[in-house]
Structure 1
Amino acid sequence: MIVIGLGTGRSGTASLAKLLNAQQDALCFHEMNPSSVRFAGTPRPFINAIDEYQTILDGGDPSMLTVDLSRQVVVKAYDELCKMNQVRLIGDIAFYYLTYVEMLAARNPNIRFLCLRRDIEATVASWMHKSSIPRWRSKYLADRLGAMITRSPFHESRNFWMNHNGEYWEPDPVWDKCFPKFEAKSKPEAIRKYCEYYYEKADGIAPKLAGVFRYVDAEYMNDIDYQKEILSFVGIPSDQHVFTDAHIHRSDYRKKMPR
């Protein structure tokens, strides 16, 4: 099976990747090739990835996969893939799949889509932290002084969700193009609009792809029964490996969120 995880980011990707990668003969990337894609308008890299995944599942050479080798996390996963004798499940988790989901579903019936979902305010706070540029105090003072001397911008964070000229926020040639842009009075407002937009689009896709698309709520990823549901959905009904170190709680998630 091919599994594509999506979501706004900062929404449980690490837990989902951990779950999928724990399965026998399975490998799931995390943002496998961001350098080659945009949030919309670049279908070919996604089509290539799905076709390459299917070739690997059919017994092809695992090294015949296009990945972004500038990212160490991807290099590690790719090297692990190349050592595998058999691959039964392969995929990728990245927020930028959203606009390509329906196209990919039509391309290959073996794909299952897992859309991560998290409280929006918590996601905004997490993105605000993630997009900041951390510095030791001495480095902060040195960089600020250097910017004053050279009359160049001093950046304390990045902003992937608004169009800007790079004066206040640091431009990022890889990630800026991977997010949609919004008109907003502040960066938190732009992130909030992004999350609302993302879930609105996902809600429109879900009924069209019933049976191959489902939400995964981050707050329930510690629940072993919930993990088993996810694994069954992606085609692993037995021999499931769940988080043996997870804190098990019995939240009645079925009544709280629609599937």
Structure 2
Amino acid sequence: MSSQILLCLSLVLSIHGGALQPVPVQPPQALYAEGETAVLQCPLERGKIQDYHVFWFQQKPASHPTLILKHGNNGQIDKSSKFDARFVPIRDATANAYVLQIQRVRTEESATYWCLAEANYFSIAVSGKGTQLSVRGGTSVKEPSSVFLLSDASQRSCSSTVHALCVAEQFYPGFLEIKWSIDGKDITEGVMPSQVMLNKDGSYSASSILNISHNLLGPGASVKCSVLHQSSGAKAERSLTQCQAS
């Protein structure tokens, strides 16, 4: 069974089976330096880990999830040939948690890692929400080559809605955070989910769109997009030029 089918199945069961056990709870983010041992936790809020098999998946930005391994409740490990012995699954009975160690982690292993607990031939199968692992350092890390902001707010007359596009280009690995703020206060209203694109050279580009009512912008309001690339530590800010009332 392919990793895409397994992940889709887990999501369907999660949606339609809120009372199902167990409940994997994954930390949303993890940050390690290249060469360190990355430790990814998947504790169960309900259920006992010895009752379930666990599957681990890796999903890089703009790519499909890939099965890393299955760790059976009998201790048997079935690992994909795409992943080497540095990927080590552990069952921590004291913490009631599944653990995935990635020894001597590499920059290119920056990805979202999903755990899926399964029993009874997928009559019970529930995934966590994934941990986004960013690996900093390493010779292949690239900070964004450019960050720019396009907006109709620079037009001489004001429309009812301000449209803005924030773009970061040619960075690696592929996780980058784009936030919007007005006068220093973070906003999420009117912000569309960021889009990440894999470029032909293996680098990534990302964009975020803001659509906000001009009535929410006071005179001289400062509207900014802020970019953070954790693997390189690069930060950038770009500001909108306010339009003039017609």
Structure with the bigger RCO (C-alpha within 8 Å, sep 6+) is 1
- Quick check: which one's helix share is greater? 1
Larger radius of gyration: 2
If the length of structure 2 is used for normalisation, what is the TM-score? 0.27
If the length of structure 1 is used for normalisation, what is the TM-score? 0.26
